[in-house]
Amino acid sequence: MELGLVYMKGTGNYILSGYSDSDLAGNVEDRRSTGGMAFYLDESLITWVSQKQRCVALSSCEAEFMAATAAACQGIWLRNLLGQITDGELRPVTIYVDNKSAIDLAKNPVFHGRSKHIDIRYHFIRECVERGEIVIKHVRTDMQRADVLTKAMTTVKFERMRALLGLKNLQK
């Protein structure tokens, strides 16, 4: 009850960034993975989601790639909304992913030999990268803010991740 999000006055730069993560086959009944994303406007958390993925992933790379694609869709939508509200220049959305193979898969359209089986809809992220709408960057797993949205963790790690998301004690 004492935790909440605190929004500070922005600088007017309107930097939109997101964090995307996934577990692998976390649901023991159907072996589907859980994807999560958190988006920030400047340093303020503005939207987050955790949801079971539509199909079973065959590897952690594939699960992370599918989660990053879902984040790209959300990021593009937020980018367009921000552009309409501010009437400003549309900057690329930066999405942070902690799986280097998934980043390579999203950036390299020729890397299709091991990804032909992945449903076409998940390759949308490649077009977003090519058009300059999305920039994908690596983030260390211990700094992956969406991690708390995808898997169970120890109390200490949960509290650290909660703080990374931006939740603050409002009683202090």
What is d(CA 93, CA 91) in angstroms, rounded to the nearest whole number? 6
Tally of domains within the chain: 1
Ranges of residues in the chain with a pLDDT under 50 are none
What's residue 115's pLDDT?
60
Q: What CATH number is given to the structural domain containing 54?
A: 3.30.420.10
Q: Are strands 34-41 and 16-22 parallel, antiparallel or unpaired?
A: antiparallel
Q: 43: domain range?
A: 3-169
Q: Which tens digit of pLDDT belongs to each residue from 130-164?
A: 999 999 999 999 999 999 999 999 999 999 999 99
Q: Which tens digit of pLDDT belongs to each residue from 64-75?
A: 999 999 999 999
What is d(CA 125, CA 103) in angstroms, rounded to the nearest whole number? 10
The answer, as to whether pTM is greater than 0.85, is yes
